[in-house]
Amino acid sequence: MAQWGRISSPSWARKMIPRYRRHHREQTASSSWERKRCSSELDRAAAFLPSLISSDYVRTSFQSVQGVLLFVDLSDFTSLTEDYICKSGSQRGTDELAEDLNHCLCDILEDMLTLGGDVLKFAGDSVLLLWRARHNEMARTISLVVHCSLQIQKKYRRRNVLTGPKFQLKIGISAGSMHYLRFEGERQKYFCVVGKAVDDVCEAEKLAKAGEIVLSASCWEHCEKHRLRTSHIAGEAAVKVTAMNRMSWSECQDVLDNYPQKQKWFFMENKRQKWCIQKWRFRESEQNKENASRDDNVGKLGQGAPLEDRVPQDFLSELRPVTILFLHLNFDTKSIGSFHSVLNEVSSVMEEIIYPHKGEVNKVFLFDKGCTFLCVFGLPGAKLPNESIHALQSALQIFNSCSEITANTGAVSVAVTSGMAFCGLIGHPLRHEYSVIGQKVNLAARMMMSYSGLVTCDTTTYASSGLPSCYFKELPEREMKGFKHPVTVYEYVGITIKSVFGMALPTKMPDNASLLGRKKEIDLFVNCLEASNRFGQRHILAFEGTRGSGKSQLLNHLAQLGQSAGYRVFGMELLEINVRQFYSAIRILMARVMGLHECESCSAREHVLQTNLNGIIEESNYCLLNGLFLVKFPVSDKVRQMHEMQRKEELHSTWAKVLEKTIDRNAIFVIDNAHFIDPASWSIMAPLLWNTSVFMVVSLCPGFARTESFHKATANNLMSHKIIYFHLEKLKPSAMVQKLCQELGVVSVPRSLARLLVQRSLGIPYYLEELVRFLRCNDMLLFHTKQWGEKAEDSWENLNTLAVLESSLTTSSRSSAGSAAMICTVRPGVNLDSTVLPSNLKEIVLAQLDEVKPLEQTLLKFAAIIGPVFTTQLLLYILPSRMRHKMNTLLDSLVRDNMLKRIESTEEPEDVQYPSKEPATPPQAKIGVETSPPSKQSEECPFGVLMFHKPLLQEAAYELWVQKQRVTLHFKCAAFLERYAHKCQSCGQGDFIAFHRVAVSSTQEKGSCKDLDDGDDSHTWKALVLAGKHLRKQRACISAGVTDTQEEQQQQQKAFVEEDFGATDRRDNSACSCDCKGIVESVLVPLVHHYTTLGNAAKAFYYLLETAAAYLHVSNYYMALKKLNEADVLRKSRKDKANVISRFEDATFFSLKGEVCCAVGRMELAKKMITKALSLLGRPFPRNRAEDFVRSQVEKLQRAAHVAGRASSLPQEAQKKKLAWLLRQSRCLSLLEHLFRLENTSVGWSLVLPGSAHEGQHRHGSGLLSLSSPQQL
């Protein structure tokens, strides 16, 4: 949303704004009580309407208006949008575009509203304004409008934006009479202005070039010519304004004093009289849904909802994928009466068609591109799965209906596009509208005009619909204004000859594919085959599973098994579009049985039907099949004499006979997506299935009528022996890891990659496939051959590579993989945790998110900023004040809806059984996930820790934020967490890097955390520790058993545990039992994320070092290594950008590297790192062990003397910085002494990992054992 407080305007204009606001409030409230109670709410609602909508106009459907129209348009907005997208990508570019557009429109409207302009319509980058004027005041009003236009053009002639081009304006002005029209559908009201003045202003704007102002002929005729300096336009009656004698403030004030503008006026007492152009449906409680559907919808502010249930207006704007539908009606508007009648009929038809698909009519334009309706699918609260299919079906129905309505008046065009868009408020605080802005909106508008008389769609809609290619026709490419390259466009033709007979189900699997995790289902099918062969028992197998659970792959595999067993298999796949086509399921099934899908001509299909149906139905009834099978049998006298109802009954009877006689009892019928069987087909198929012995395999999705029918039949005692109902469970993590390796074609994947994909995919194969496809398309993965016995050079990069490989999950043992095998790694510099969701998955998750109430959805968006696990204290801190009192109620509701889970007690992660190497902890110290109601929560625990039920839900909610709001919230989170970025009380509560905060104080300016009560620190600390421990356990929730044999499972199970990376038997376990393990996960790691998102590289680097030191503190060397690698990437990027890195932090970076190398047995590499750290700290490298020992002792004595001398008082800032340097030098020298001591031992210099050949030898060594904890160095 635009930063409306930062507005540049003339001083005299700034004086006018308070007067405008005060006068407006005085007119909208009749008493002082009403002004105090309702003025702010009325102002917010009134901002969505022009002042033209007053008491004189709201009840009338037609009225004449006189005045001056101004049409301002941003020049080359489409090409400017393309530049934003090319520079920053689809999501970020759309966000930046909307932000800059909002700033521009806000500045423009500031001047225009000040001088009495009334914003009638917003059209993306265009605005239409009206100055109402009497005939005798028309000339002076035109001068006022021209004066305002010149002020705006002067300001925006050289306005730079982020991408390099400039916002330049084209302005057209006309004057005269026009007509106000109000039209409506059943659910929504609209208005428009139409007439010669509107046509003139559109023509004037088209004649204007960037930075110009053009007056129409009628405006030039009525204006004060002596004030204006103009130039003629060749061949046109319009003129271009070059300059004018500026109006004084008193002249402007005089015109405004005689201005006949009516103030905005609302009916607030009666729900059925509420009026607003923009519509926003807030979900009501279950008992009020029926009443809510009948009430008129009101504005995006949610005027129908109680005040406390409305979403704050500042948080209405979102970035979300939507589907845009543009309808263009090209007909004459001169006959106002017929035009008004057509608009009423079209609006009613539009609403009737799109509202069942949760579409919204966002705008109606009659001033830019003729009569245009802008419809949006997928606005907040209205997202549906398969949104593209809903939009395409609506588009074809609208096209057909509107073509009938306007048959004699003009052409109809419909364009559909899908993609990212800004959905939010556009304009000025005093006048704005809820709009959609984005590249796909521009593309739909261009397609609508370029492909007249067609229903068109873009490639994204074509691909996301999932419909067969026979539903579309590729159109010739045409150049469209603003697009540098031609765009591929498809015509949506709907049902064709090919689509009538449906899609066949593939019965062949790829050679390299195998079905994972479905052994029970396959065994069940094989048993049914044996029962059919031996005893003639035929069953109906019904497999129910959610979308993406692998139902289609399972049915393909079963069909292949059926063919191998010698059965004839007739398979078909139904689509959502089939459920709205009469007899489509039977038609497709019969076409497969009789072979009609292979017939190319009508006569061939007639011959097949006559051959198969001879003796089954009467020849006079063949003509009933004409429309169903696209044949042309002669209509018999018997059928001709039937009325409509008799024909339907006869057709139903005919279908029943055909189906019963032609079904092969020795065949297997496989129907994928059987929940899409249309009602007409089901009325015939159901009796046959329940009463006849048929071997059929179907897949079903929960929540559909056909699925419920199978449920009821299974529960029926008479039918239960024929139907076997099986619910497809989610795949276990072990099977998902195997599938991941299968999709990538490798034998090994990094543990971090497997963890991310298994957690995101939730055991659903389709999710995993989409995530893998997204990673590969964005080049985030590397594939190479690994020689298991090869030796690598002793370097930091090779240490990291070896650590990743040793921690990888493999689907086969090294012996079975051979000496070389293909493995997968993550490309260096790629942060998997920050990857965005693929568009297909985002659509599915947003549909689930939109099922909750708007205020609950807003709360989820705030929680998503914090992360997958969050504390209620932090959530309360970042929430806006008007939502805080409802936080607990909203959280309880979200827990009941399975959107969130409360973390309370320990639950062992599924499919993971790691042997614990830590001391046993009491039961009350263990944590986990519990889904019990909040009422069971202990009253002694005054804090709350929750997590998102699905990780994808958190990511989808996070991506809805616009960038400016996201940055603000990340800053608040960081300011809150910085208070707890230190060791626990048992460890001294200092920085994990001693005096780190003081040593780099220039980069550590703490954020403000004013609203946090100090009394809550202990409770907040406990909550953060609880959250951190759960995050740590979540990271370990990856199945170790990815192989079939128990021996291989046990070998894989102990192959890698983070705490065992380079670890030895610990004599001191104190570092592992404190709260620091939780704090590093819930405070330090999130701080790195927050500051990285904010673009603050200095603080991100600071907390990366703190995080690495904290992991060393808790003896987790693998995570310390990983965080130091992230710090290395950030350090190089900072150097590339010429950002100065603190010498102390640079030295600390190499010092921590040395500690990690020492811990994992890379002694030579550790010596190199420590040596470099000492050189940065200003300490020369000792020449021998004796000098090393002497210097370390001297340092210890100096440190003791320094501490003793300053024991009575705290050191000054400079002394603290010096102490930080001394402590770091002492740490490096002590570690170096330890490394030299190990030179003569038998430990060796090779990397020691659990399970390796050197592990036992290393564990019995005396050197590293005594220094396994960083505290002992």
Q: Is-contact 454 413, C-beta < 8 A?
A: yes
Q: Chain centroid to CA 535: how far?
A: 53
Global pTM?
A: 0.84
pLDDT of residue 423: 93
The DSSP letter of residue 475 is P
Structure tokens at 1182: 């000792």
Structure tokens at 1060: 């065992």
**1146: Cβ–Cβ under 8 A, 6 or more apart, which residues?**
1131, 1176
Angstrom distance (rounded) from CA 1084 to CA 1025: 12
- Walk along the chain (1273 residues) in steps of 10 and give the mean pLDDT of each run: 35 42 44 44 74 65 86 89 88 90 87 87 89 88 90 72 64 91 82 88 90 91 88 88 85 77 37 30 31 33 51 85 92 75 88 91 78 92 90 93 79 93 90 91 92 93 89 90 88 78 56 73 90 82 90 90 88 86 84 80 85 82 82 86 83 79 78 90 83 85 88 76 86 88 87 87 90 90 72 71 73 54 83 83 91 92 94 93 90 93 63 36 34 41 80 92 93 94 88 87 57 67 91 69 46 49 45 78 94 91 93 90 89 68 87 89 86 84 71 71 55 75 86 78 42 36 33 32
Tell me whether strands 371-377 and 359-365 are parallel, antiparallel or unpaired.
antiparallel
pLDDT of residue 939: 38
Q: What is the largest CA-CA distance in the chain?
A: 117
pLDDT of residue 38: 43
Structure tokens at 380: 């907040």
**1254: Cβ–Cβ under 8 A, 6 or more apart, which residues?**
1161, 1244, 1246, 1248
Angstrom distance (rounded) from CA 1117 to CA 641: 87
- For the chain, the straight-line distance linking the first and the last C-alpha, in angstroms and rounded, comes to 53
Structure tokens at 115: 């001088």
Angstrom distance (rounded) from CA 1218 to CA 1220: 5
Q: How many CB atoms lie within 10 A of CB 116?
A: 23
3-state helix, strand, coil in the chain (%, to 5): 50, 15, 35
Q: Is-contact 1019 943, C-beta < 8 A?
A: yes
pLDDT of residue 927: 31
Q: Is-contact 474 490, C-beta < 8 A?
A: yes
Q: Which helix (H) or strand (E) holds 662?
A: helix 644-662
Nearest by Cα to 417 from 453, 377, 458, 366: 458
Beta strands in 387-519 (DSSP E): 410-428, 431-437, 455-458, 472-474, 489-492, 503-504
Structure tokens at 690: 């329940």
pLDDT of residue 288: 35
Nearest by Cα to 1191 from 1230, 1164, 1235, 1218: 1230
Structure tokens at 561: 């098994």
Burial class (CB in 10 A: 0-12, 13-18, 19+), 817: middle
pLDDT of residue 1244: 42
Helix (H, G, I), strand (E, B) or coil at 700: strand
pLDDT of residue 90: 87
pLDDT of residue 472: 92
Angstrom distance (rounded) from CA 16 to CA 338: 42
CA within 13 Å, CB half, 52: 31
Q: Which residues of 921-945 are buried (b: 16+ CB within 10 A; e: fewer)?
A: eeeeeebebeeeeeeeeeeeeebbb
**808: Cβ–Cβ under 8 A, 6 or more apart, which residues?**
748, 749, 750, 751, 823
Q: Is-contact 548 766, C-beta < 8 A?
A: yes
